[in-house]
Amino acid sequence: MELGEFFRQQRLDSNLTIHQVAHGIISDAALSRFERGENELSTQSFLQLLPRLSGNPDYLQYEYTILDPTDPLASPRGTLKTYHDWGLHLLALFDKTGWPYYRLAGIERLIITDMYTQKGEATRDMVEIVLTHLNQIQPWGTFEVRLASRLTRSPLLEQEELLHLLEQCLNVARQHATEMEIAWSESPFAYAVIACQAISIELLNRDQFTAAMKVAHDIEQLPLDQNLSLLHNQARTRLYLAYHEHPGEEINNQFLALTQAWQATRFAEIGQKNLAGWKDYVKKENRKHED
């Protein structure tokens, strides 16, 4: 499938006419020819048109690729390898096209895979590229909120940067705390809360227990009760905090029981990595209390 044809399908799925998408950016005729595969669009024009489809480059490129079952990136989703390979693919697309959103989405994936594999492929320069983008774009769209939620997992963030992201993500969560967004796992509300939960864990990793407790408390002032994923994450965060205060077998067993939710799912590999992280944390906390 050609990109123009795919763009047309996305436009029709959004119930938009050619004129609604094209007006003020390019002519209706130019967009029509692009959709029919008769001409190409400049990167600048494509970037301007994209928000009118309520799309983002990561989503469009991913969905476009998986339409071709022969593409190696169209394999089953959810594994760390496909996530990592997809990040490299997006970065290669940036080198080819110069489209900045490809680079941002590629960096996002390397940050996530680094968290589980410790390969160190995400660099400080990459972190600064993402931070610059987040500081320049206001207000954040869904792409930016998700990008921030990934960035909060990076140990390359400095303390001041981490706390600034926390403030921004809490504000986004409060602004988007509508009934529909609370229950939707892909909403700006959900991504903002996930970012705050990640910051709480990162503060714990940096031995800043009081600050981590405050973040957990702030999160619990938000309406989480209709989103099981966010409640699961919050329970996980609370168990980390509880073990810091009262290390023991009871809390350890509670965490082990919580991880059972990952078994027999496409995220089982990530669940195993989370469990390994918990075991390392338990050893670290036990050594502290022994000292």
pLDDT digits (tens, 9 = 90+) for 132-142: 989 888 788 77
Place of tokens 């997006």: 90
Among 220, 224, 202, 222, which residue's Cα sits nearest to residue 211?
Answer: 202
Residue 70 or 197, more confident: 197
Which pLDDT value is given to residue 226? 82
d(CA 15, CA 214): 44
Mean of pLDDT values over 177-198 = 89
Q: Is the pLDDT of residue 152 over 80?
A: yes
Residue 79 or 144, more confident: 144
Which pLDDT value is given to residue 203? 92
pLDDT digits (tens, 9 = 90+) for 89-127: 889 888 887 778 788 888 998 998 888 787 889 999 999
Is the preceding peptide bond at 223 cis, omega within 30 degrees of 0? no
Residues 202, 123, 77, CA angle at the centre, nearest 5°?
75
Which pLDDT value is given to residue 84? 85
Residue type, 279: K
pLDDT exceeding 90 applies to what percent of the chain? 37
Q: Is the pLDDT of residue 161 over 50?
A: yes
3-state helix, strand, coil in the chain (%, to 5): 75, 0, 25
Highest mean pLDDT among 81-85, 142-146, 259-263, 275-279: 275-279
Q: Are 104 and 146 in contact (CB under 8 A)?
A: no
pLDDT category, 146, cuts 50, 70, 90? confident
Q: Angle, nearest 10°, between helix axes 142-151 and 124-136? A: 150
